[in-house]
Amino acid sequence: MPFETIRIEDEGPIRVIAVDRPKVLNALSTQVLREIDAAVAAVPGDARVVILTGAGEKAFVAGADIAEMQGKSADEARGFSALGHAVGKRLERLDQVTIAAVNGFALGGGLELAMSCDLIYAAEHARLGQPEVNLGIIPGFGGTQRLARLVGPQLAREMIFTARMIDAPTAKARGLVCDVFPKAELLSAVKKIALEIAAKGPLAIAAAKMLVRKGAALDLDDANRLETETFGELFRSRDALEGITAYLEKRKADFTAS
């Protein structure tokens, strides 16, 4: 389908989805959220990694579209929140690895979008925060939940209650982002990491992603049992046979996601 607010580029096993509204700092309107949702749903099976980023040099996504939110009824606001949650859920449950390349402001819905990805990398000039209480509202796309899981409840409360932005090095120190790169090198550095991931067994990557997500909500014994079951099931795959054989033969594995 044609998109008006996002841009898609494919580079081998990598698909890049860029929110393309730089004049409004890539703000998330209903249309943007629906287009991101559709783009993620349509990721082809031969794409191994999806990179999410923002167009322009100022913002990843500076937040939800406040102009659109003005005048919403309570029911309309719930619907907007539900749409944001649906996009986050689709990113989390995609078999492929998702990476947020935060190339500027990641605020409100923008940070929530980034936190729905498996990995977050940031440019050194990036600023991250949940400033919703400045507007008399709260994070509505999962921010109160994902932020606490990533940085811990106390630091999450501080960021949400004060609405302060933090810089990229602070975000790294708090465990919110994996690493920080110079502005001009961010996307190339993330693509290099994506290629490294893409070379691994795709079924194993998908299984590991599922286990980390599901295991977080389970008792440790139950989570470990799920891991054991999944470990065994992977041995039915051609990829497991190929990976082990390639290792013993001292050659590069040729994974086929089968």
Q: Which CATH number covers residue 241?
A: 1.10.12.10
Q: What is the mean pLDDT of residues 188-211?
A: 98
98 and 48 share one domain: yes
* 33-56 pLDDT tens trace: 999 999 999 999 999 999 999 999
Confidence of residue 2 (pLDDT cuts 50, 70, 90): confident
- Whole-prediction pTM value? 0.96
99 and 115 share one domain: yes
Q: How many domains does the chain have?
A: 2
Residues taking part in catalysis: 112, 132
Q: Which CATH number covers residue 29?
A: 3.90.226.10
111 and 239 share one domain: no
From 197, 31, 32, select the one nearest 121 (Cα to Cα).
Answer: 197
13 and 89 share one domain: yes
Containing domain of residue 206, as a range? 202-248
Q: CA-based angle 108:149:183, to the nearest 5?
A: 50
256 found inside a domain: no
Q: Is the pLDDT of residue 216 over 70?
A: yes
59 and 152 share one domain: yes
Confidence of residue 1 (pLDDT cuts 50, 70, 90): low
